[in-house]
Chains A and B, each alone.
Chain A
Amino acid sequence: MAVIVVEYEFSPPITEEGLRQMSETLAPCSRMRRLRRLRTIVSQDGRRGFCEFEAPDAETVRDAYRSAGVTFLSVWPAKLYDGLPPSEQAVAPAAENQ
C-alpha cells in the first residue's frame, strides 16, 4: 500500500460539518477500493486542505472520489520522511563543513 495525498481547494470554505459529510459520502467508495484515510489537514480559513490515505495507488483514490462525486484539486503519491533529524540539528553538518 502506498501513501497518497489528496489536495483540496474549497470555495466556499469548508466547515467541520462539510468535512464530515464529505467523509460519509466517500466511505462506501473508499471501502470497496481498500482506501484507508490516515489524516486530514485543513487550513484555518477552510479554503485548502489535504487528506492522507493508505491506498493501492493514486488513481484508485481519484476513482473513489469521482465515483462518489467528491471534487479534489490533485491526488499524488507521497513518501514519508520520518527519520529526519530535528531542525536545530539539521544545520550541524553544514557547520562542520565550514
Chain B
Amino acid sequence: MFSAGDAKSAATPKLEIRLLGEPEVLVDGRSLALPASKKTRALLGYLVKTGRAQRRERLCELLWDGPDDPRAGLRWSLAKLRPLLNAGATERLLADRERVSFEAGDAVVDVADLGLQSRAALQSASTERLMALLQRFRGPFLEGLELSSCPMFFAWCVAERESCRAEHVALLNLLVERHRAEPLSALSYARALIGLDPVAESPRLLLLDLLIEAGEPQRALEEYGSYARTLERELHVAPSWELERRRLLISSGTVPARATSLPAVALTERPTPPAAPARAAELVGRLPQRQALHAWLEGLGHDRPVLLVWGEPGIGKTRLLEELATLTRAFGGQALHGKAFEAELVRPYGPFIDALRSQFGTQSPFSSQAADRERLYDAVLELLQHTAETQGPLLLVLDDVHWFDEASVGLLHYLARALGTAKVGFALAARKAELADNPTAQRLLRALGKAQLLQTVDLGPMSVDELHQLVCSQVRGEGITSARPGDAPLPDALTRTLNEAAGNPLFALEAARALASGSEDVTGSLSSWLAERMERLREPERALLAWAGALGRSFDVDVLARVTGLQASELLPSLERLEQHAILRGKSAGYDFAHDVWRQAAYRQMSSPRQRLVHAQIAKALGQAPDHDDALASEIAHHAALCGDAELAARACITAGRRCLRLFAVSEGRNLSQRGYQLASGLPETVRVPFLVELLSIQVLSETRVDLVATLLELAERARRAGLPAVEARAFYLSSVQQFRRGENQAALRSALMRIEATRQAEPQELGAHFAGAARCCLLLEQNVDVAGQFVTEARKLLGDDSDAVDLAWSRGLLAHVRGDLQGAAQQLQRALQLARAQQAHWEEAECLLELGWLELERGAWQRVFEHTAGLVHVAAQLDEGAYTAAARSQMALATLTRDPGSSFDTFEESAQSLRAADANRLLAIALNRAARLAFSGGADERASRYAEQALAAAGVVERANEIACARLTLAEVAARAGQLNVARSHLGELHAHAVSADLSASNARAIARVRQQITQMEG
C-alpha cells in the first residue's frame, strides 16, 4: 500500500484513509468518528481521491449548489474535516481564500495507487501482494455517498466507482488464475466476482468450470439453474450457447465426478433463527421522555404545537413517536404518519401528502389543484383544525425531518404559526448531525424555537439495564438470558454485547440477534450483523429486500408487484416473513423497513451493475404506472438517473419540475431543473436542446433571479441550426418573458418578435396575455408608447379582438387616448370596464373609470363624468385610502365647473387637498392641469398659472411627461397672454427638451404646435 513516510519517527501519529467501502479515517489503527454530514464525508472523499488543489467555487458547485450560502456550507465542512486530517503536527488539509487541497504526505490512502498498477505490474506481483491488495476492497468506492441530489458529484463518484470496480475485477481474475491449480481455493474469488456483477456471464462460466474441475458436477448444475433463473428474472433472456454447452457437458456425464467434496459455501439456505416478535409490546425505559410527551400532549391547543425528538440513528426516536401516537389515541385523538426519505428531497410535501392521504384520501388538499400557495396552506390548515374540532386531538407524526424538502418545511412553518388554539400537534424526529446537510430544515427548527413554538426532547443512550430488558423482550435464543443484572451474573457474551452497544437499542438488538443465532462475533459492526442476517434469509426474501431497498421509500404491495413483475399473492408470504424477522414493518398504507439502516443494508447487498438494473426496472415500471398528477415523476427521475438513463431522467425532471411549480414548491422545481440540466448535457444535440429549453422554462416560470437570457438566446440559435423551429420559438419566448420582468421592453419585444417569426404554434393565450399586460404597464407609466403599440398589435393577433382579457381592452383604450382617438378610446375603456367588473378586478375597474372620467372631461361630456365618478366612488370604497375618492371628487368638481363656467373652485381645491393628503402626485397633476385649463378658458390667468405651477411640481415628482408638458403649455399661454413672450419661450424650450425623449400624447403634441405657432405670430 502507498506509504511515503514509513521511516518517520514512531511518535508521529499514523493516518490512514480508506475510501473503498464506507469511508474511514484511522489514526494509529484507531477509527475516528466521521462527521454525520454526508456532504462533508463526500468532500473528504473528493479531496483525498483527486489529490490536487480545488477551487472553492468548484467544490461549492459540486456539493452545495443551491440558494443557500454555499461558501458557508463548505467552510463548515472543512472545519469538521480539519481535526480529522491534520492529526499530529502535520497539516494535510490546506485551504486559502481560493483553493482547498489535501496533501497525503505520509498518510496511507487505500485508493492512492489504484489505477497506477498496470496490468503488467499486477501480473508480476506475488500472490501475497495481490491478496493484500484485495483486502483494500471493503466495498464500492465511497459506499453510500453517491449523493444523487448533487448531479456533478454523482457523475464523478459513479465514474470513480466504476474504475475501482474494474480494478477489483482485474485483481480477482488474476487471483483465480493464480489458484487455478487448486479449484477449491479459486472458488471464493470466483464467487466474489459474481458478487460484483450477478448477471455477467464470464464469472459464471468461470465458476462452473471451477466446480467441474473440482469434481462437483451436481453443484455446477445447481449454479447453472440459479443463474438461468436470474437471467430470466432480471434480463428476460435465456442462457447463452456457451453456458448451455457447459450444462450439456455436465448432464451428459462427459465430465467425470471427483471424490473431493467442496467446503460448505453458501449455495444452500442456512437455517433461519426462530422468528422474533415483530415489535415490542411495551416501550422500555425512557421515563422522563414519556413524561415530557404526556405533558406536551396535554398542553396541545395552548402551548407549543411542535415537538421534536432528537437523537442519533437507532436510539429509538421512531419508537418514542409511536408511543406518542398511542398516547394520543388514549386521549381520544388520532395520529397520522408521514416520513421523509433520503431519496426524495425533491418530492414536495412528501411527508404531508402521505400523512393526509392515508386518512383523507381524495379529500386531501394535495389531491386537487389550489389557486395559489396560500390557499393550499389554508386548505391544509382548515382540514387539520376541522378534524381536531370534530374528532378530538390530531397528531401528525413526521419522521426524519433532516430529509424534509423545502416545501414541507414552508408548510410546517406556516401551520405551526397559524394553528391558534386548535388541538393539533406535530411530532418530529431528527438526527441532529445530519441536519447540517439540510439548512432549510435547520432554519425551520431555529425559527420555531425562537418563536416558542417548539419543544425538544433529547434522546440519549439507554442504560445497560434498560438495554438488557429490551433485548430480553424482543430476542429469544441461546445466550439471551432474562436474569436481571444484579441477581446473577450475565453470560460474558451478553454482557459484552450490551456494553458494546453503548446505549444504542438498535445496535443492542442486532448484536443480540447475532448472538442468539450462534454468531461469536458480538463485537462486530452493525452492518456486518445486518448482512449476516440477510445471508440467512431465503432467496425470495433476499431478492425482495433488494427491490425494497432500491425503491428508497415506503411501498405498498402493488408498487412492489409492478416493479418485480410478481403477483401480489407471490409477494405476501415473503413480506410476512420479513415482518416476522423485524426487518420490514407493516403500516397502514403498505410496508417500510423497520429502520433506515436496514434499507441501506438491503441496497448495499447488491453489486453496482445489479443496482443499475434494479433502478432501470423500477423507473420503467413507475413510468408505466397510472400517474394522473405526475406524482411519480420525481421518483422516475431519481431511478432513471441512478441507472444511467439520462434521457428518461431528464424528461422526468421536466415533468416533476412542472408539478413542483403547480404545487408552489418553487425551490424544488429549480433544483429539479438544475439536475435535469446536468443529466441532459450528455445527450445528442437534437435531443439535448429541447430538453435544456424545457428545463430552463421551469426556472424562468419560477421567476428566478438568475439571468438566463444569454443562455436562452444561445439555445435558440442551436435549435435553429438543429432544425427545431418550435424549440427555437420556445427559447425566444422564454427570453422575452425574462426581459419583460426586468423591464427591458425593447429587448423583450425583439425576442418576442423573433419568437413569432420562428413559429406561432405555442401558447398563444399565454404570450398574448403577456403582450397585453406589458402594453398596459408601459401606457400607464407613459413609457415606450411605440413599443406598447407593437405589443397591443401582437396581443390582438394572439388573443383576438373578442378576448376577455381586461388588459387587452384597457391597453387598446389607453393607446387610442394617447393617439388622440377619443371615441375609440372610450369604446375600449368601456369594454375593459365591463370585463373588470365581471371579473371582480377592482383596481382595474377603478383605473378604467378614472381614465374614462378624464377622457369625457376632455370631450366636455360632463354628464358622463358624473356617471363614471359615481361608479368610482363605489369601487374606491373597496380599495381606497382616499386617493381614488379624492380623484372622483376632483372629477366631479371639474365637471361642475365645465357645466357652470364661473362657479367656485372651492370644491375642487378641497379635492386637490385630499389628493395631496393621499400623496397621489400623478392624480393631483392631472386634476390641477385640467383645472388650470378651465381657469385659463375663463380668463382666471392667475389661478391658471398657480394650478399649472403646482401641477408641474407634482408631475415632476412622478416624472409624468404628458402632465409636465400640459402644465408648461398652460404657463406658456398665460405668459403669452400677459405679453411675457420670453417666459413663454422659456416654457416652450423646456417642452422641446422633454418632447425629444418623452412619449407625448397626440393632443399634447398638437397643443405644443398650436402654442408655438401662436407665440411666433405674436413675436412677428
State whether the Cβ of B27 lies closer than 8 Å to any Cβ in chain A. no
Cβ B418 vs Cβ A13 within 8 A: yes
Is B66's CB within 8 Å of the partner chain A? Answer: no
* Complex: A13 Cα to B374 Cα, angstroms: 10
Most chain B C-beta atoms within 10 Å of own C-beta, residue among A24, A25, A31: A24
Which of B743, B879, B958 is the one whose CB lies under 8 Å from A60?
Answer: B958
> Given A28-B740, A58-B918, A59-B920, do A15 and B417 touch, yes or no (CB 8 Å)?
yes
B703 contacts the other chain (CB 8 A): yes
Q: Which residues of B contact A44 (CB under 8 A)?
A: 451
Q: Chain B residues near A18 (CB, 8 Å)? A: 373-374, 414
Among A18, A33, A34, A59: residue with most chain B CB under 10 A:
A59
CB distance from A28 to the nearest CB of B (A): 5
Is B447 interfacial (CB-CB < 8 Å)? yes
For the complex, is A45 an interface residue (Cβ under 8 Å from B)? yes
Query: CB-CB contacts of A1-32 with B at 8 A, as 1s and 0s?
Result: 01010000000110111100100110111011
Q: List 6 A-B contacts (CB under 8 A).
A: A12-B377, A13-B414, A15-B417, A16-B413, A56-B921, A58-B920
A72 → B minimal CB distance (Å): 9
A residues apposed to B, CB below 8 Å:
2, 4, 12-13, 15-18, 21, 24-25, 27-29, 31-34, 44-46, 56-60, 62-63, 66-67, 74-77
Min CB gap B699→A, angstroms: 13
| B447 close to A16 (CB less than 8 A) | yes
**Could you tell me the distance in whole angstroms from the C-beta of B611 to the nearest C-beta in chain A?**
36
Docked-complex contact B743 and A28, CB < 8 angstroms? yes
Given A56-B957, A59-B918, A62-B881, A32 contacting B703 (CB threshold 8 A): no
| Main SS class of interface, B | helix
Stretch at the interface among B161-169, B512-520, B775-783, B974-982: B775-783
Name A62's closest neighbour in chain B (CB-CB). B883
Q: Is the CB of A24 within 8 A of B921?
A: no
Contacts of A13 in B (CB 8 A): 414, 417-418
Counting from the closest, the 8 A-B pairs by CB-CB distance are A58-B919, A59-B920, A66-B843, A17-B410, A77-B919, A57-B921, A56-B958, A28-B741
**Other-chain residue from A12, A31, A77 in contact with B742 (beta carbon distance below 8 A):** A31
Contact of A59 among B447, B705, B923, B959 (CB under 8 A): B923
Chain A residues positioned under 8 Å from B781 (CB to CB): 32-33
Contact with A along B430-463 (1 / 0, CB 8 A): 0000000000000000010001000000000000
Number of B interface residues, CB 8 Å?
36
Specify which chain B residues have a CB less than 8 angstroms from the CB of A66 in the assembled complex: 843, 879
User: Does any Cβ of A come within 8 Å of B922's Cβ?
Assistant: yes
Report whether B780 and A15 are in contact in the complex, using a CB–CB cutoff of 8 Å. Answer: no
Complex CA gap A13/B415 in Å reads 9
Contact check, A74 vs B881: say whether CB atoms are below 8 A apart. yes
Taking CB atoms, residues of chain B closer than 8 Å to A16 are 413, 447
Whether A15 pairs with B413 at a CB distance below 8 angstroms is yes
Residue of A nearest to B375 (CB): A12
Please determine whether B417 and A57 come into contact, CB atoms closer than 8 angstroms: no
Contact A32 B957 (CB under 8 A): no
Smallest CB gap from B846: residue in A: A66
Q: Assuming A31-B743, A60-B922, what are 6 further A-B pairs, CB within 8 angstroms?
A: A15-B414, A18-B373, A28-B741, A31-B742, A57-B958, A59-B883
Q: How far is the CA of A76 from the CA of B957 in the complex (A)?
A: 16
Closest chain B residue to A32, Cβ basis: B743
Check if B381 is an interface residue, CB within 8 A of chain A: yes
Query: In B904-937, which residues have CB < 8 Å from any A CB?
Result: 918-923
Question: Given A12-B378, A31-B743, do A45 and B958 touch, yes or no (CB 8 Å)?
Answer: no
A31 to chain B: which residues have CB within 8 Å? 742-743
* A14 → B minimal CB distance (Å): 9
In the assembly, what is the distance between CA of A34 and CA of B922, in Å?
A: 14
Which chain A residues border B780 with CB–CB below 8 Å?
Answer: 63, 67
* A75 / chain B contacts, CB cutoff of 8 Å: 881, 919
A13 to B922, CA, bound (A): 33
Provide the bound-state CA to CA distance between A7 and B801, in Å.
39
CB-CB under 8 A from B373, the residues of chain A are 18, 21
Closest CB in chain B relative to A70 CB, distance in Å: 11
Q: How many angstroms between the C-alpha atoms of A28 and B770 in the bound complex? A: 13
Contacts of A32 in B (CB 8 A): 743, 777, 781, 783
Cβ–Cβ < 8 Å partners of A21 in chain B = 373, 666
Which residues does chain B contribute within 8 Å of A60, judged by CB atoms? 921-922, 958
Contacts of B777 in A (CB 8 A): 29, 32, 67
A69 to chain B, nearest CB (A): 8
Q: Mark B830-858, 1 if CB is under 8 A from A, else 0.
A: 00000000000001000000000000000
B703 closest partner in A (C-beta):
A24
Min CB distance, B486 to chain A, in Å? 52
Assess the B417–A46 pair: CB atoms within 8 A.
Answer: yes
B374-390 contacts to A (CB < 8 Å): 374, 377-378, 381
**Alpha-carbon distance between A44 and B450 when the two chains are bound, in angstroms:** 9
Is the CB–CB distance between B957 and A57 below 8 Å?
Answer: yes
Q: Could you tell me the distance in whole angstroms from the C-beta of A52 to the nearest C-beta in chain B?
A: 15
Contact digits for B385-424, partner A, Cβ 8 Å, 1 yes 0 no: 0000000000000000000000000100110011000000
**Complex Cα spacing A29 to B741, Å:** 8
CA distance A8 to B741 in the complex (A): 24
Q: How far is the CA of A25 from the CA of B879 in the complex (A)?
A: 20
Question: Which residue of the partner chain B has the closest CB to A75?
Answer: B881
Please, which residues of chain A bring their CB within 8 A of the CB of B879? 66
Min C-beta distance of B786 to chain A, whole Å: 17
Complex Cα distance A57/B740, Å?
A: 24
Contacting residues, chain A, for B957 (C-beta < 8 A): 56-57
For residue A30, which residue of chain B has the nearest CB? B743
Name the residue on B nearest A10 (C-beta).
B374
- Chain B residue nearest in CB terms to A72: B881
Residues of chain B in range 738-791 having any CB-CB distance to chain A below 8 Å: 740-743, 777, 780-781, 783
Whose C-beta in chain B lies nearest to the C-beta of A2? Answer: B919
Residue of chain B at shortest CB distance from A46 = B417
Q: How far is the CA of A74 from the CA of B918 in the complex (A)?
A: 10
The listed residue with most B CB atoms (<10 A of its CB), out of A12, A25, A34, A58, is A12
Q: Which residues of B contact A17 (CB under 8 A)?
A: 410, 413
CA distance A18 to B920 in the complex (A): 28
Least Cβ–Cβ distance between B363 and chain A, in angstroms: 20
Q: Which of B374, B410, B703 contacts A12 (CB 8 A)?
A: B374
The CA-CA distance from A54 to B493 in the complex, in Å, is 75
State A31–B777 Cα separation when bound (angstroms): 12
> Which residues of A have CB within 8 Å of B740?
28
The closest CB in chain A to the CB of B883 belongs to: A59
Give Cα distance in the complex from A67 to B780, angstroms. 10
Least CB distance, A65 to chain B, in whole angstroms: 9
**Measured CA separation A29–B780 after assembly (Å):** 12
B703 / chain A contacts, CB cutoff of 8 Å: 24-25
A21 to B414, CA, bound (A): 14
Report A-chain residues with C-beta under 8 Å of the C-beta of B741: 27-28
Cβ–Cβ < 8 Å partners of A62 in chain B: 881, 883, 920
On chain A, the residues within 8 Å of B418 by CB distance are 12-13, 46
